[in-house]
Structure 1
Amino acid sequence: MRICRFNDDRLGIIREGRIHDVTPVAKELGTFSYPLPRFDPMIARLSELLPLFDRFARTSPPVDVSEVKLLSPIANPGKVIAAPVNYQKHLEEAAADTKTFPQHHVRRIHETGLFLKATSSVVGPGEGVQVRFPDRRTDHEIELAVVIGKSCNEVAASAALDVVAGYLIGLDMTVRGPEERSLRKSVDSYTVLGPWFVTADEIGDPSGLPFELLVNGEVRQSANTRDLVIDTPGLIEFASKFYTLEPGDVLLTGTPEGVAPVKPGDRIRATIDKIGTMDVLVR
């Protein structure tokens, strides 16, 4: 199933390129008292909600996707975990460009480890990216984004896909400079998630998904998830050694070579096979 958020926090199901509004199902999530949970309530109860989504979608009149503003499909990620230099060719391009990439940041992922992005940086494709530092270089980075579906800790790679709720496209936008990654990549609007959330059963094995990113119609990045240095199960194992993973946590798996700057007015088109395409305006 493909689930989206749109306009004023409406919930929708995507079928044949059109949205069926299923917002009334959100009432099933109930209310929460203080302290609020650290997880996304919809993802935590996804298996119960899917039949209700299907039932409401059958009677909800469809609307074209082009007529709505798409928000991040995950409203309340507790953590956004990201994998740096997780494609060999990206590592090589970063090592070769000493002006753009400070070399103390250019190390193998096994040495660097993972990093966190502020959840306040999360937006949907309809909200776009707002360049915060116009005097500095802001780059695009397309990534497969994995959504955790169960609370888990110290998960073995062999069982890792069992804790995945689904997948979406991620843009890990980046300000270049000497500061730590977590700071430069946590600017407001620098984590774009969308266009919708695709449940794990529709993807199956995420290890062979072709994807590409275009800016103003020009191909900038084109790769396949089979080229990941640490694959999706390995990344879940890695992350869960350090963190308890919660429903709705998002794991960005890394970007391939071809990262390049964008400027206000540019249009980014990001596509991942079996997920879809999202168009993002840079402001």
Structure 2
Amino acid sequence: MRLTLFDDGRLGAVIGSDILDLTTQIASAQAHGPAGALHHYIDRLAQGGALLDLGSGARKPLAEVTLRAPLPQPGKIIGAPVNYLDHKAEMKYSTSIAELGVFLKANSSVIGPGEDIRLPYSDKRTDQEGELGVVIGRTASHVSAEDAFHYVFGYTCLLDITVRSDEDRSTRKSFDTFTPLGPWVVTADEVPDPDALELRCDVNESTRQKVNTRDLIFGVPELVAYISSVMTLHPGDVIATGTPAGVGPLHHGDRVVVDIDTVGRLEVGVDATRAVAYDQRPGRRATVPAADRH
């Protein structure tokens, strides 16, 4: 099942070239909150709630609706740094996820298909990082790799946008619009092996990244096991599994596409109209001449 939000936040299942409106099946105050109806459904399901009924609901052609981020405000987004060996070599890192651990991205950084990544700085490189996203379906704490798949609700396409500045990793990856997500979440039953998926990321129809997820240093079960040993994972949390080699700078007007076998195709734009010089950012500290220091 491919589940997403559309138009004003309605919950839908994508079936062929149509979308089936399932909103009335999860009608409640929480379903219309900032986390969104799909997040509410995942949480309800984790508590023993009923599965969605695909036999009822109005259908519309996909072409007539606007798809939104399926999880507009996840509880948390956990990133896996340097989780492909080719990216480690590309960036000349001496360490990988095994030494670095994981990092958090702000959940306010999520946007959906068709929206724009907003570049914050006019003089700092901002890169695309195409990744497989894992959506947690049950509360997970200290789970084993062998049991990890029991805690996964599904998978989605994700971009972990990154500024190459001097700021901390979580800051550089948490600007508003820096986590495009979607266009839907594919439930885990439709993805037999998430560690054997072809992933491609194109910028302006030129392929920058192409890899199979079998090349992950920590595959999906290892990631869930490791992260849940550090922090409790909750329904609706999202794991960004890491990016392969081929990251590169984005510019105003670019179109970025992540395409993952079985999972989907996510396309977003790039907007630099609000970018400012790095030394003009809020919170900067002016350099004080040595003679004036006390």
Instruction: Please report how far the alpha carbon of residue 49 of structure 1 lies from its aligned counterpart in structure 2 after TM superposition.
Output: 4.8
Read off the aligned partner of 1:78 and give its amino acid letter. Answer: G
Instruction: Please report how far the alpha carbon of residue 42 of structure 1 lies from its aligned counterpart in structure 2 after TM superposition.
Output: 1.8
Read off the aligned partner of 2:12 and give its amino acid letter. Answer: G
Contact 1:164/1:200, CA 8 A, preserved across alignment: yes
The one of 83, 90, 93 equivalent to 1:93 is: 90
How many matched pairs? 264
Q: Identify the residue that residue 52 of structure 2 maps to in structure 1.
A: 51
Contact 1:70/1:127, CA 8 A, preserved across alignment: no
CA distance in 1, matches of 2:173, 2:232: 22
Structure 1 stretches lacking a partner, 5+ long:
96-102
CA distance in 1, matches of 2:171, 2:250: 19
Contact 2:254/2:270, CA 8 A, preserved across alignment: yes
Read off the aligned partner of 2:18 and give its amino acid letter. Answer: R
Q: Identify the residue that residue 163 of structure 2 maps to in structure 1.
A: 175
Deviations 1:163-220 (A, max 9, x none): 0000000100111112211000000010011010100000121110001011111001
CA distance in 2, matches of 1:80, 1:276: 20
Q: Identify the residue that residue 14 of structure 2 maps to in structure 1.
A: 14
Instruction: Please report how far the alpha carbon of residue 23 of structure 1 lies from its aligned counterpart in structure 2 after TM superposition.
Output: 1.8
Q: Identify the residue that residue 40 of structure 1 maps to in structure 2.
A: 39
Instruction: Please report how far the alpha carbon of residue 268 of structure 1 lies from its aligned counterpart in structure 2 after TM superposition.
Output: 0.8
The one of 114, 136, 141 equivalent to 2:102 is: 114
More helix as a share of residues:
1
- What's the TM-score once normalised by structure 2's chain length? 0.85
Partner SS for 2:234: coil
Contact 1:69/1:127, CA 8 A, preserved across alignment: no
CA distance in 2, matches of 1:212, 1:79: 25
CA distance in 2, matches of 1:126, 1:25: 27
Instruction: Please report how far the alpha carbon of residue 30 of structure 1 lies from its aligned counterpart in structure 2 after TM superposition.
Output: 5.2
Contact 1:125/1:195, CA 8 A, preserved across alignment: yes
Q: Identify the residue that residue 99 of structure 1 maps to in structure 2.
A: none
CA 1:49–1:277: 2 relative to 1, 3 Å: farther
Q: Identify the residue that residue 61 of structure 2 maps to in structure 1.
A: 63
Contact 1:145/1:250, CA 8 A, preserved across alignment: yes
Contact 1:209/1:273, CA 8 A, preserved across alignment: yes
Question: 1:1-283, aligned counterparts within 5 Å?
Answer: 1-27=1-27, 29=28, 31=30, 40-46=39-45, 48-52=49-53, 54-57=54-57, 60-64=58-62, 66-95=63-92, 107-283=95-271
CA distance in 2, matches of 1:124, 1:137: 23
Identity %: 45
CA 1:51–1:69: 2 relative to 1, 3 Å: closer
CA distance in 1, matches of 2:106, 2:174: 5
Deviations 1:47-79 (A, max 9, x none): 745333x1334xx13222x44332211133111
Contact 2:73/2:110, CA 8 A, preserved across alignment: no
CA distance in 2, matches of 1:25, 1:51: 7
CA distance in 2, matches of 1:174, 1:31: 32
Read off the aligned partner of 2:136 and give its amino acid letter. Answer: I
CA distance in 2, matches of 1:113, 1:51: 36
CA distance in 2, matches of 1:92, 1:142: 17
CA 1:183–1:13: 2 relative to 1, 3 Å: same
Partner SS for 1:40: helix
CA distance in 2, matches of 1:175, 1:7: 31
Structure 2 stretches lacking a partner, 5+ long:
272-294
Deviations 1:246-268 (A, max 9, x none): 00000000000000011110011
Read off the aligned partner of 1:193 and give its amino acid letter. Answer: L
Which protein shows a greater Rg?
Answer: 2
CA distance in 2, matches of 1:30, 1:219: 43
Read off the aligned partner of 1:109 and give its amino acid letter. Answer: I
CA distance in 2, matches of 1:94, 1:78: 30
